[in-house]
């Protein structure tokens, strides 16, 4: 059996590597807000750019900019 990789905060993901959202911290309101942006639990995304603490992620054909504080609350695992 392969071990399940541990979830890490989104800013620690490797740029260009596809990841899956496995957890969202700080309650249901934040989870709903992110889901409305296309970042729901189970979604696959790719960290495209990280500069000055801010991130740009790709979700399908969409690019989203996230602040560092928000991105820290999104837990991901490699796909």
Kindly list the domain boundaries of the chain, sorted by start residue: 8-78
Terminal alpha carbon distance of the chain: 17
As a whole number, mean pLDDT of residues 60-79 equals 96
Would you place residue 27 in the very low, low, confident or very high pLDDT band (cuts 50, 70, 90)? confident
* Geometric angle at alpha carbon 10, from 63 and 32, rounded to 5°: 70
pLDDT number for residue 1:
62
How many C-beta atoms lie closer than 10 Å to residue 77's C-beta?
Answer: 15
Distance CA 47, CA 52 (A): 14
CATH superfamily of 8-78: Ferrous iron transport protein A (FeoA) (2.30.30.90)
Cα 62–chain centre separation: 14
Distance CA 15, CA 50 (A): 8
pLDDT number for residue 2:
67
């Amino acid at each position: 059996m392969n071990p399940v990789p541990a979830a890490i905060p989104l800013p620690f993901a490797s740029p260009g590597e596809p990841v899956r959202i496995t957890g969202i911290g700080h309650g249901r309101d934040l989870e709903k807000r992110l889901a409305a942006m296309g970042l729901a639990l189970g979604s696959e995304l790719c960290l495209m750019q990280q500069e000055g603490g801010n991130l740009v992620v790709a979700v399908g054909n969409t690019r989203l900019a996230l602040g560092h504080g928000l991105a820290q609350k999104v837990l991901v695992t490699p796909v």
